[in-house]
Structure 1
Amino acid sequence: MSESKLPRILITGATGQVGNKTIEFLKNNNEVEVIAAVRTQDKARQFKRKGIDTVLFDFDDELSHAEALKNVDRVLIVTDYTVDMLRQSKVFLDSAKVAGVKHVVHLGACGPDNTTVAHWAWHQLVEKYIESAGFSFTHLRPETFMQNMLSYGGKQVVKEGIFNQYVENATKSWVDAEDVAQVAALSLLHPDIHSGKTYRMGYDAKSYDDIAEMLTKMIKKPFQYQPQSPDVFLKSMQESGADMAYMHCVYDHYKRYAAGTIPGADEIFDNFPLITGNNPVTWETFIKKHKAEFDY
């Protein structure tokens, strides 16, 4: 039983786009205590300036887990995008079980239960481990983040109106990361409502040509999508020293998007208004919000 009068929520991945926005949604709620899990004191200071409690935590340092999870009731688990997510998640969840955590919200990836896309399946293995451990749970399965068109891997994506991707003319399902964070926050606030639920989140289906056309129309400057072979992506990841176990999976799913062999790649869902009471962000809304970032 938690010693705290209010439920304590630990946010891992607190400096990432979903974790950080989840904290923003929760920070002014007086019915819970929010703790940001961070790796360094420098990152801790960034949150403390905003009045948010922090704890030092590293998925790869299991000795940090017990202190981070002390008196914690609910957790948002956001791992890095590497094959290490499997080990990291298991060890962390084992620690959470010992600590008495009750509800786990897991940020996963796209796909139905029978997905054959490798890194999506890794996330589903984590989901099954959460369930087998006996936690109350909410699984989040976002489709492609709209924010990936702003930056990816720390690099600007659209430069002078030109952008490259690796899926030919495939139509994909998209979601704003802020919408994912809103669902995460509600799932953490109200586990009684969201326990046992798997939320697939994709609310607008567009090809990159569609997006280029919308950008051209709304920003009133020319934008152009120039598709490249997935081999270009693979080579760039190798040269950058990225985790290739994960990047080979990404490479493979780019090839499958391009070939049209991922079932339901453009599937969209109607659950967001039921979960939040709001309408999800569409590409039109997203471009309006981020017009200055796309403009050149």
Structure 2
Amino acid sequence: MASFQNGPFIVTGASGQLGRQVIDQLIEAGAGPIIAVTRNADKLAEFRDKGVDVRQGDFNAPETLGPAIAGGKRILIISTDDLEPGKRLAAHSNAITAAREAGIDHIVYTSLASPVPESPITFSKDHQNTEKLIGCCHVNLSAIGEGIALVGSGDVRSRFPDIKCLQPMEADG
């Protein structure tokens, strides 16, 4: 197995359309082990039958995330679809904090193609701030926006030279 296929891989939002497609592709590629995280684990019984470790976890219930991602090495954080101001960023922050505490060394995040302050997209700032939070984790980031790879396996802090880490992320010293 190629080194890029060394898991365990964690896929969040696993019962959604993108999450299911990613898991199918990981299985097809022979990558693993795979941990599928979803709010309702019963929705993923077919993956359990294929050897996927299905776990319950909810970005809005941070106490569920540590056990859900324990033992993982790389994580795909699929952005939530909450459009209420602040809720998406709070949920993403919970997931990033759990990943940091679990020792995850690579985060793949579904962002926007250009999450900049002047974007006309109302939730662009949530994606920009999520990328900043990931940058504070001192892990590798791959951000994917609208099907376009934006940052390949690099340090996101170089994209945000004015980054100021928010609590509890700045504890890395």
TM-score (norm 1): 0.45
Aligned to 2:145: 141
Amino-acid identity (%): 26
Bigger share in strand: 2
Counterpart of 2:105 (choices 96, 102, 107) is: 102
Separation of aligned partners in 1, 2:8 and 2:118:
34
Alignment map for 1:220-235 (pairs within 5 Å): none
Amino acid at match of 1:90: S
Instruction: Confirm or deny: 8 A CA contact 1:110 1:120 kept in the other structure.
Output: no
TM-score (norm 2): 0.74
Aligned to 2:52: 52
Partner secondary structure for residue 112 of structure 2: coil
Instruction: Confirm or deny: 8 A CA contact 2:96 2:134 kept in the other structure.
Output: yes
Q: CA deviation at 1:114?
A: 4.8
Aligned to 1:11: 11
Counterpart of 1:86 (choices 71, 85, 89) is: 89
Aligned to 2:43: 43
After superposition, give the CA deviation of every residue in 1:177-223 in whole Å (9 maximum; x if it has no partner): xxx4xx78xxxxxxxx930288xxxxxxxxxxxxxxxxxxxxxxxxx
Instruction: Confirm or deny: 8 A CA contact 2:117 2:124 kept in the other structure.
Output: no
Partner secondary structure for residue 47 of structure 1: helix
Bigger share in helix: 1
Structure possessing the higher radius of gyration over alpha carbons:
1
Distance 1:197 1:95, change over 3 A: closer
Aligned to 1:175: none
Instruction: Confirm or deny: 8 A CA contact 2:69 2:99 kept in the other structure.
Output: yes
1:124 aligns to 2:101 (yes or no): no
Q: CA deviation at 1:69?
A: 1.4
Instruction: Confirm or deny: 8 A CA contact 1:10 1:74 kept in the other structure.
Output: yes
Aligned residues: 147
Counterpart of 1:196 (choices 148, 154, 158) is: 154
Separation of aligned partners in 2, 1:19 and 1:81:
13
Instruction: Confirm or deny: 8 A CA contact 1:34 1:52 kept in the other structure.
Output: yes
Instruction: Confirm or deny: 8 A CA contact 1:44 1:55 kept in the other structure.
Output: no
Amino acid at match of 1:56: Q
Partner secondary structure for residue 126 of structure 2: helix
Unaligned residue ranges in structure 2 (runs of 5+): 1-5, 157-173
After superposition, give the CA deviation of every residue in 1:56-110 in whole Å (9 maximum; x if it has no partner): 1111111211111111111111132114111111122111111100000001124
Alignment map for 1:1-296 (pairs within 5 Å): 6-82=6-82, 83=85, 84-111=87-114, 113-116=116-119, 117-142=121-146, 180=147, 194-196=152-154
After superposition, give the CA deviation of every residue in 1:5-59 in whole Å (9 maximum; x if it has no partner): x521110011222211111111133343111112224213132234322111111
Distance 1:98 1:130, change over 3 A: same
RMSD of equivalent CA atoms? 2.5
Q: CA deviation at 1:123?
A: 0.7
Amino acid at match of 1:196: G
Distance 1:97 1:43, change over 3 A: same
After superposition, give the CA deviation of every residue in 1:235-286 in whole Å (9 maximum; x if it has no partner): xxxxxxxxxxxxxxxxxxxxxxxxxxxxxxxxxxxxxxxxxxxxxxxxxxxx
Separation of aligned partners in 2, 1:127 and 1:15:
23
Separation of aligned partners in 2, 1:14 and 1:41:
9
Distance 1:111 1:50, change over 3 A: same
Instruction: Confirm or deny: 8 A CA contact 2:108 2:143 kept in the other structure.
Output: yes
Distance 1:112 1:120, change over 3 A: closer
Partner secondary structure for residue 85 of structure 1: helix
